Structure 1
Amino acid sequence: MTSPASDSELPRVRGFLSAFHRRQAARTIDFPGGFAVFDDAYALSRTNNHVLVDGTLDETDAEALPGLADELQGSLPYRHAYVLDEEVAAACREPMERAGYRHSTSLVMCHRGPVPAHGGAREVDLDVLREPATASWRRFAPQAGPEHVRDLVERRTARARGAEVVRFLAAYSAGGEVAAWVDLYLDPAAGIAQIDDLVTAEPHLGQGHAGAVLDTALSLAATAGCTTRFLTARPTDWPHRWYDRKGFEVVGSVSRFERT
């Protein structure tokens, strides 16, 4: 259910997402109502190579989007597009599905609860996360080959340029292993922060480590002056219900169109 606060929050969230995708890209191609992003260093990562529609209905030609996506992504083995505005996504859905695209959504959830105390997670770099992240992707995407997994892991390097401040946080087990981790993207001047890619290593599930990294991210974001703190979650997966218990509320959604 969409919160009444969505009218004020969603434009800020959409603006942040649009800017993040543009900033992390190695190259971009603009078109009316949006742009395409590419990074040949991570060619198998769809979040680094896609079309993003961030315009209004007046700016977006929904009927032309399938052909445009084909033209822009012609060298890729997949087609992938994000549409940030819900009304634009509704207009795009029929022409995209006629062209063979599968539609799905991610919920946009903003933190409305009290800011928790620092959870004790530490800031780390990609070298620390490489091994546990590789193991997690082999669990989540067993069909992905070694090159695909490599792109999914190493793309964090590109994320480091996506926002004014980017932090990778990790919680450790009593035995000193990385147990859970999360990305935190901050724009302190705009007062907005995104929490992304929260993962718990399989041997450490159910031990509170995810809560530790989430609490740390929320605490750091609030300390940086970010009053808008958001994340995205699949509506069909259980984590969004856990986020709800952690003080997040649904304020809207982002659409995804995929074809392989």
Structure 2
Amino acid sequence: MSGRSLLTHLIEPRDWRAALADGAVRPPSLASAGFVHLSAPDQVHLPAQALYPGRRDLVLLVIDPARLRDPVRVEPGVPADPGGRLFPHLYGPLPVSAVVAAVPYRPPAAPVLPDPDDAPGRALAFYAALPVRRAVGVGDVPGGVAVLDPDVPHSRDNNRLVLADPVDAATIEATAGEVAGNAGWPHQAAALLWPEAADVAADLARRGWEVEELQLMARRAAPLPGGERAEVVDQREVHELWNRSWRAGLPETGPQLDRVVAQLIGRERLNDRVLAVHDVAVREEGRVVAAGQLRVDGATAAVESVLTDPGSRGRGHGDAVLARLLGIAAGAGCDLVVLEAAADDWPRHWYARRGFRTVGTSWSVGRPA
């Protein structure tokens, strides 16, 4: 929990997605009463109980008051709270650039609210929130939740345990086995998103799990030069590049490979339903040979899927893609750009030379069901 004076706002997922496109949250109260209802972190349960009883699918916006342009006044609720409590009211729209995290609100679990200048906390909040917010089904498990999407069962990202609180390897193994069996997953998988999870990951490796250490990296959203060669494209224009990349890296063959690749490509549309997705590409003779994606969620953005065809490497295409993505992030009002990079692979060094620094670690673990 943050020690800083944060503010919060509960919002429907669809309204947050609309605000990302508009640039600001403009609830009906802004027109009717002249302000946006906000809460201190220890008050948010009151509007939740009054306006959304029993709901566990809402998004809690974590707001840095220093980024608000309009005045905030602490006043009685509307209607006045019978307990006499006062609430912060923002007399103007809530800019999305003031939202440093958008976390799932799933009472009675206490949401973790990262500080605006806490890059590791904001990165972990992003990677813990996105799987939950885009999931078809979410269930509570020890240490976090299980996310499910039966339309893409071969995607581990969409069908796994997302664990933000410490839990031991035996519990993870038992929980993953039970959930995978009930859901019919072809795998068991989990993301370990709490600090100091290395010992648990090592224990799972001894139990036969595949374990990947991921470096959480971050930098300011200031643009780099050279992004002019990369263009913003409709995501469908990148599908063939993704298709070639997945087919080169997966062990499956024949019809099974076709099914897996189709699901991995098809799952990507789910992200744009909950946050703002921007795809950029570089072409050679009209053919997309390099691409990358930016996922914008308020003041935080994440770089994903930067890749270049093997035959087109060494020509600066990756730099052009990254520069364009950082420019989009800056233009959207983001102050922080994050990414995940495999700890044992070369891209993390490539990103480090371009201003990204390692701010934390997470772990991805899995095995066949």
User: Normalised by the shorter chain, which TM-score bucket?
Assistant: 0.7 to 0.9
Q: Compared with structure 1, are the counterparts of its residues 162 and 107 closer, same or farther at alpha carbon in structure 2 (3 Å cutoff)?
A: farther
The equivalent of 1:183 in structure 2 is 293
Structure 1 residue 77 and structure 2 residue 189: aligned?
no
- Contact persistence 1:114–1:247 (CA under 8 A): no
Q: How many residues align?
A: 246
* Deviation at residue 123 of structure 1 after TM alignment: 2.1
Distance 1:132 1:106 in 2: 24
Find out whether 1:68 has 2:179 as its counterpart. Answer: no
Q: How far is 1:254 from its partner?
A: 0.8
Match of 2:349 in 1: 241
Q: Return the match for 1:41 from 137, 143, 151.
A: 151
Q: Which residue of 2 aligns with 1:252?
A: 360
**In 2, distance between residues paired with 1:158 and 1:113?**
24
Counterpart of 2:125 (choices 15, 36, 42) is 15
Q: 1:122 aligns with which of 193, 206, 231?
A: 231
Task: Give the SS at the match of 1:86.
Answer: coil
Deviating beyond 4 angstroms after TM superposition, the runs of 4 or more aligned structure 1 residues are none
Quote the RMSD (CA, aligned, Å).
2.0
Q: 1:109 to 1:94 in 2, by over 3 A?
A: closer
Judge conservation of contact 2:222–2:330 (CA < 8 Å) in 1. Answer: no
Whole-angstrom CA distance in 1 between matches of 2:351 and 2:206: 34
Q: CA deviation at 1:93?
A: 2.9
What TM-score results when the alignment is normalised by the length of structure 1?
0.87
Runs (5+) with no aligned partner, structure 2: 1-116
Report the Cα offset of residue 203 of structure 1. 2.9
Q: 1:94 to 1:170 in 2, by over 3 A?
A: closer
1:13-69 per-residue CA deviation (whole Å, 9 max, x = no partner) reads 1111111111221211122421111111111111111111012x3xx4554221011
Q: Give the superposition deviation at 1:91.
A: 4.9
Aligned to 2:82: none
In percent, how many aligned pairs have the same letter? 32
CA–CA distance in structure 2, aligned partners of residues 199 and 255 of structure 1: 22
1:108-257 pair list within 5 angstroms:
108-112=216-220, 115-117=223-225, 119-120=227-228, 121-143=230-252, 145-163=257-275, 165-173=276-284, 175-188=285-298, 191-257=299-365
Q: C-alpha offsets along residues 50-107 of structure 1, whole Å, 9 cap, x if unaligned? A: 111012x3xx4554221011111112121111011132x2353355345432322111
Flag the structure with larger Rg. Answer: 2
Q: Map of 1:93-104 to 2, 5 A cutoff?
A: 93=201, 95-97=203-205, 99-104=207-212
Q: Does structure 1 conserve the Cα–Cα contact (< 8 Å) formed by 2:153 and 2:159?
A: yes
Return the match for 1:52 from 148, 159, 162: 162
Q: Partner amino acid for 1:166? A: V
Which residue among 87, 92, 96 is the counterpart of 2:200? 92
Report the 3-state secondary structure (helix = DSSP H, G, I; strand = E; otherwise coil) of the residue aligned with 1:100: coil
Pair 1:235–1:97, CA change in 2 (3 A): closer
Looking at both structures, which has the greater relative contact order when contacts are Cα pairs under 8 Å and sequence separation is at least 6?
1
Write the distance in 1 (CA, Å) between the matches of 2:205 and 2:352.
Answer: 31
TM normalised by structure 2 equals 0.63
80 and 15 in structure 1: CA distance in 2 versus 1, 3 angstrom threshold? same
SS in 1 for 2:333: coil
Equivalent in the alignment of 1:4: none
User: Can you give the 5+ residue segments of structure 1 that lack an aligned partner in the other structure?
Assistant: 1-6
Structure 2 CA distance, aligned partners of 1:167 and 1:180?
Answer: 14
Letter of the structure 2 residue corresponding to residue 172 of structure 1: R
Distance 1:94 1:236 in 2: 15
Deviation at 1:192, TM superposition (A): 0.6
Secondary structure of the 2:340 match is strand
